[in-house]
Structure 1
Amino acid sequence: MQYPIDNISPLQQAVRGRGIIPFIGVYDVFSAAIAGKYYDGIFISGFSFAASHYGLPDIGFIAWSDIIAFVQRVKNILPHHLLLVDIDDGYVDPEVACHVVASLESIGVAGIILEDQKRPRRCGHVDGKLLMDLDDFLEKLTKVLSTRRNLFTIARTDATELDEIIRRAKAFAAAGADAVLADGIKDLTVIESLRREISIPLVFNQIAGGKSPAYNLTQLQTAGVSIVNYSTPCLFAAQAAVENQMKYLTEHDGLLSSASITVKDCNQLLDRNLRDRYSH
């Protein structure tokens, strides 16, 4: 779907103006503040949020009201960044999906990802995923597209067979989706096949240890990818760092290590968040 030139979405404009855009997945506002120092694209990752907010796996526990509240807090400290939000299946019902989309757009979100899984849902990089009937998903997608004003809408498929991925991607594009994400793909030939079949932007999901190999931005851009969302770099880095600190404490009779980050360093980041929030 092409927007009128005077109503183009910020993410649509960015896609047109850049070769490829990385979005860094965050798990809380603090990690968003750090990631925001290096990247202007922030991904509100369902996997990371489920782990951080609930301490549970990404299998459908997220409540739509919780994700909206979280996004609002991130937007408060990163008002000028592009926020891309994973809304899973729109939280089951089309009416709920439309409400969530309208709420996120009013906050100032740049884009959302809506998937074609049915419940019980799974992380896109694990086995056992179930797909909605295509017509049922298209009904939900169409309602979302008619609800948004200029919110960049990515339609995600969790299909695993190439023919079905292409069938669904073409249907998403025909319905008016702004971009397509095929999740959990095992190599870039899927991207190259999609690029031959549809003209709208393609999205690639990077997650350490997932079904998809790790590629750099140059490789992905060459294959035809326009947007890359990194689901869990902040979450996994935090897990490793906390594990290391806890092991050190237990092994050294509770003695603090000479960590590279001190209270001064942390306060500098927090003070910057406060200063930037009220300086615009």
Structure 2
Amino acid sequence: MAHGEALREAIAAPGTTPLIGVFDMLSASIAARHYDGLFVSGFGFSASHYGLPDVGFIAWPDVVGFVQRLRLALPRRHLLVDIDDGYTDPEVAGQVVRALEQVGASGVVLEDQQRPRRCGHVEGKRVLPLEQYLEKLDLVLATRRDLVVVARTDATGEDEVLRRAAAFAATDADVVLVEGMPSVDVIRRVRRAMGDKPLLFNQIAGGKSPRLSLRELTDLGVDVAIYSTPCLFAAHAAIEDALVRLKDTDGVLPDDSIDVAESQDLLWPNLGDRGDVPTPRASRPAMTR
């Protein structure tokens, strides 16, 4: 089955489909042990690849190269890719979509922000005129062959949010994402405005949206949930803690660290993943030599 069609099938299944945000090959390898769907987060990629905040620094060839490596290592996982605003012009967005489809992406998220852009959960966002965004979206939709396309709005006023959600739902986009929905009531109103079009919700620690379980999201009519930063923020906390501990113990490595064998046990399957979801490390047999 083609990658886009496989993701569509997962989205159409009962319940809310989770997609876990990853920022490098190691985080993706760990996430793939636990989840079938991964999300290439712009927030995480900007932090890991450039060491910069998510304010528009990403160059699209870097994202294409990352997705190509992901697909080679994880041929059976869903890969939804954040392409920000399509990296400026509609023609560039179309080229990005062609390239990502060629290297095996399952889908893309295209936002309606104008430059300078911002992470969807910070202040200072501005959106394109609706007609200008729809022109870009139409070109992306005409370019894709199989990719799932998520139309995302970063509008903030509720009337404009609902207007754009309804307009996006009327297109051939597969899914609509309203970024930064501040309450359950807003989620319900967006859901009504969109009709039957699948709805995506972004979960991000410290963001503008409420923390909700998958069961709660299902009850609200949400079809897909992306978790943009759990891997990135966990790595941030764990690395900080590990280096503080190393300094406090005068450079003596801790006894409870991941070791060489466990690290290799994670990475060797990437040479030839055949689609079986590996079990978490705690229940995996020791690697034989």
Counterpart check, 1:239 vs 2:245:
no
Deviates more, 1:198-207 or 1:257-266: 257-266
Structure 2 counterpart of 1:249: 246
Task: Give the structure 2 partner of residue 109 of structure 1.
Answer: 105
Counterpart Cα distance in 2 of 1:175 and 1:271:
43
Indicate if the aligned counterparts of 1:76 and 1:277 stay in contact, CA closer than 8 A.
no
Partner of 2:87: 91
CA shift for structure 1 position 160: 1.1
* 1:173 Cα offset (Å): 1.7
What is the DSSP-based 3-state SS (H/G/I as helix, E as strand, rest coil) of the residue aligned with 1:167? Answer: helix
Letter in 2 for 1:204: F
Shift of 1:8: 7.5
1:62 lines up with 2:58 in the alignment: yes
Choose which of 4, 8, 25 in structure 2 pairs with 1:29: 25
Q: Counterparts of 1:166-181 in structure 2 under 5 Å?
A: 166-181=162-177
Between the aligned partners of 2:256 and 2:64, the Cα distance in structure 1 is 34
Q: Match for residue 146 of structure 1?
A: 142
The 8 Å contact of residues 22 and 230 in structure 1, kept in 2 or not, is answered as: yes
2:116 alignment partner, SS class? coil
Q: State how far apart, in whole Å, the 2-side matches of 1:7 and 1:278 are.
A: 13
Q: CA contact under 8 A between 2:110 and 2:151: conserved in structure 1? A: yes
Q: Matches of 1:204 and 1:58 in 2, distance apart?
A: 19
3-state SS of 1:9 partner: helix
Question: 1:120 matched to which residue of 2?
Answer: 116
Map Cα deviations across residues 15-65 of structure 1 (whole Å, 9 max, x no partner): 222321000000101110100010000000000000000000000000000
Question: Could you tell me which residue of structure 1 aligns to residue 284 of structure 2?
Answer: none
Name structure 2 gaps, 5 residues minimum: 277-289
Q: Against the structure 1 CA distance between its residues 72 and 197, is the aligned structure 2 distance closer, same or farther, given a 3 Å change threshold? A: same
In structure 2, C-alpha distance between the alignment counterparts of 1:7 and 1:217, rounded to whole Å = 23
SS at match of 1:213: coil
Distance 1:7 1:229 in 2: 18
Q: State the 1:197 CA deviation.
A: 1.8
**C-alpha distance in structure 2 between counterparts of 1:90 and 1:110, whole Å:** 16
How far does residue 277 in structure 1 lie from its aligned partner after superposition? 7.0
Check the 8 A contact 2:161/2:178 in 1, yes or no: yes
- Cα-to-partner distance string for 1:142-183 (whole Å, 9 max, x where unaligned): 000000012111000001111111111111122221111011
2:179 aligned residue: 183
Say whether the 8 Å CA contact 1:202–1:226 is kept in structure 2: yes
Show CA shifts across 1:187-215 (max 9, x none): 12222112212220000000001111211
The alpha-carbon distance between structure 1 residues 60 and 274, as it changes in their structure 2 partners (threshold 3 A), is same
Which structure 1 residue ranges, 5 or more long, are not aligned? 1-5
Greater RCO (CA < 8 Å, at least 6 residues apart)? 2
- Count of equivalent residues: 274
Select which of 247, 251, 265 maps to 2:262. 265
Q: TM-score, normalised by structure 1?
A: 0.94
Q: CA deviation at 1:78?
A: 0.7
CA shift, 1:185, in A, is 1.4
Q: State the one-letter code of the partner of 2:6.
A: P
Per the alignment, in what secondary structure is the counterpart of residue 250 of structure 1?
Answer: helix
Aligned to 2:232, the other structure's residue is in SS state helix
Among candidates 200, 208, 211, match of residue 208 of structure 2: 211
Alignment of 1:190-229 (within 5 A): 190-198=186-194, 199-229=196-226
Give the TM-score of the pair, scaled to structure 2. 0.91
CA distance in 1, matches of 2:59, 2:147: 21
Aligned to 2:10: 14
Q: CA deviation at 1:278?
A: 11
% identical aligned pairs = 55
The one-letter code sitting in structure 1 at the alignment partner of 2:204 is I
